[in-house]
Chain A
Amino acid sequence: AQTVTQSQPEMSVQEAETVTLSCTYDTSENNYYLFWYKQPPSRQMILVIRQEAYKQQNATENRFSVNFQKAAKSFSLKISDSQLGDTAMYFCAFMKHGSGNTGKLIFGQGTTLQVKP
């Protein structure tokens, strides 16, 4: 069974600085997808970025980028030029690809990020 671990329950960063959120996962699969979702105080889950395991290039979406280390089973999220609106809980999630895929997401426990002015 797959598991996803986020070892940082809470983090804080000053506005305009850079912060990195950690995520590790355990799987015997070779093909899969990884996601970062953001849950602001409004509680709606918003997709931030996704990574295909077969791609070596790290995904980037504006100020958000990932450091995907497949061999180490690590998938960290870097937020550059942090903004007050980035304050939220961030979840790392795993999805199988290919045989056995049900579309199910397996989530980590979440990291609460506070951006301070």
Chain B
Amino acid sequence: DGGITQSPKYLFRKEGQNVTLSCEQNLNHDAMYWYRQDPGQGLRLIYYSQIVNDFQKGDIAEGYSVSREKKESFPLTVTSAQKNPTAFYLCASSIWSGVSSNQPQHFGDGTRLSIL
């Protein structure tokens, strides 16, 4: 079955440590997204990528980095510069056909990141 796989399900970070969240999709989608979910705030966009080797900052990119070396993969690194990383992180993907695109996003099961 096609879908989006996020790993790990739970992740703990020590002070000053960088951690990487994995997101893999086998839907052959062009676009991939990373969202952060905090209680009472809905989802906020961190980074997105519409094509391999290209990505753009979202609304809350500070303290995060991404790469898009393969169409299927869009890992998110939470760096030590992110001072409040405790949150639920969701990866999504969609078909992208340009500005007229209207395809909904499909989501993974998420990763819960906590500080030790």
A residues near B, CB below 8 A? 4, 9, 33, 35, 37, 42-47, 50, 52, 91, 95, 97-105, 107-110
A100-B104 in contact given A9-B40, A105-B43 (Cβ < 8 Å): no
B contact residues, range: 20 to 34
Measured CA separation A43–B89 after assembly (Å): 10
B101 within 8 A of A: yes
Measured CA separation A11–B94 after assembly (Å): 30
The proximity string for B residues 70-112 relative to A, scoring 1 for CB distances below 8 Å and 0 otherwise, is 0000000000000000001010101010011111111111100
B53 within 8 A of A: no
| Inter-chain contact A103/B50, CB cutoff 8 Å | yes
| Inter-chain contact A97/B40, CB cutoff 8 Å | no
| Inter-chain contact A109/B45, CB cutoff 8 Å | no
8 of the cross-chain contacts (CB-CB < 8 Å) are A43-B88, A44-B109, A97-B100, A103-B103, A103-B105, A105-B43, A105-B105, A107-B42
| Inter-chain contact A47/B104, CB cutoff 8 Å | yes
Name the prevailing secondary structure of the A interface residues.
Answer: loop
| Inter-chain contact A110/B102, CB cutoff 8 Å | no
Closest to A45 in B: B107
Which chain B positions have C-beta within 8 A of A105?
Answer: 33, 43, 45, 92, 105
B56 within 8 A of A: yes
Closest to A33 in B: B102
Measured CA separation A91–B107 after assembly (Å): 13
**Known contacts A101-B100, A105-B43; can you find 10 more A-B pairs with CB under 8 A?**
A35-B104, A98-B100, A99-B99, A103-B50, A103-B94, A103-B96, A104-B45, A108-B42, A109-B41, A109-B42
